[in-house]
């Protein structure tokens, strides 16, 4: 009878259909009887498509391989290959020139370089300052006439509510008697 350790060792082989015969039957029997291993196998099944499926075939020798094939003097440099260029020290002029070459060559047609995070931060900062200045202005500066003043001032009301005495042809409009007087009449 297979134990838990042996069973889990065979998960990969079983997943890749490389486990056959008696060993396969033993594993299946173990999974049926052992709740912990059954659960472990199901968790394994969720990760296996990523961890234990065939990956992309290598098409080129890699940096690591190059480092190992190189003579001893070169091999000492291998750790430096990890950072083949200074990732932060890119000159702006070079970056723009490269982006322009890529764009002209239609390698990245739509790829006008996005503004860098630095510029985005600056833009966000300026927007925040502008908003703060506006807020300060409206909270400190008092308008020349408040809304209440406008309501109290009768002149301004009469100006806005005055009725014209003439119609649009310039003729005098006859005064209409009040309804209440007609009814009283």
Partner 1 sequence: MRGVLAFKRFARSVSEPSDQDLVAGALNGEPAAFAELATRHRSRVERICQRFFSDLEQVRDLAQETFIHAYGGLKGYRAEIPFGAWLRAIATNLCYDELRRRRRRPEELVADFSVAEANWVGLVNTATPEELVEAAEERREAKTLADKLLATLKPEDRLVLTLQNGEEMSISEIAAIVGWSEAKVKIRAFRARQALRRQAARLVRPRKGGE
What residues line the site for partner 1 (CB under 8 A)?
14-15, 17, 28, 31-35, 38-53, 55-68, 70, 74, 78-87, 89-91, 94-95, 97-99, 101-102, 104-105, 107-108, 110-111, 113-114
Q: How far is the CB of 35 from partner 1 (least distance, A)?
A: 6
When the beta carbons of 51 and 130 are compared against partner 1, the nearer one is 51
When the beta carbons of 86 and 148 are compared against partner 1, the nearer one is 86
When the beta carbons of 47 and 144 are compared against partner 1, the nearer one is 47
Residue with tokens 């002149």, as numbered in its chain = 155
Question: CA 113 to CA 97: how far, in whole Å?
Answer: 11
Q: Smallest Cα–Cα separation from 33: which of 57, 4, 9, 56?
A: 4
Q: How far is the CB of 126 from partner 1 (least distance, A)?
A: 23
Residue 7: other Cβ atoms inside 10 A: 22
Q: How far is the CB of 161 from partner 1 (least distance, A)?
A: 59
The β-bridge partners of 69 are none
CB 68 within 8 A of CB 58: no
Q: How far is the CB of 153 from partner 1 (least distance, A)?
A: 58
For residue 42, give the 3-state DSSP assignment. helix
């Amino acid at each position: 009878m297979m134990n838990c350790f042996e069973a889990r060792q065979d998960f990969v082989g079983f997943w890749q259909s490389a486990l056959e015969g008696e060993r396969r039957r033993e594993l299946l029997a173990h999974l049926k009887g052992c709740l912990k291993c059954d659960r472990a196998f199901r968790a394994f099944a969720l990760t296996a498509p990523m961890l234990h499926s065939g990956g992309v075939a290598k098409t080129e020798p890699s940096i690591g391989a190059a480092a190992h094939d190189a003579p001893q003097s070169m091999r000492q440099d291998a750790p430096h290959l990890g950072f083949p260029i200074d990732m932060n020290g890119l000159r702006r002029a070079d970056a723009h020139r490269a982006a322009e070459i890529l764009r002209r060559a239609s390698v990245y047609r739509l790829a006008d370089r996005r503004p860098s995070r630095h510029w985005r931060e600056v833009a966000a900062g300026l927007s925040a300052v502008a908003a703060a200045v506006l807020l300060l202005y409206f909270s400190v500066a008092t308008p020349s006439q408040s809304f209440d003043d406008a309501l109290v001032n009768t002149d301004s009301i009469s100006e806005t509510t005055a009725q014209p005495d003439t119609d649009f042809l310039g003729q005098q409009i006859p005064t209409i008697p009040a309804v209440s007087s007609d009814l009283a009449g």
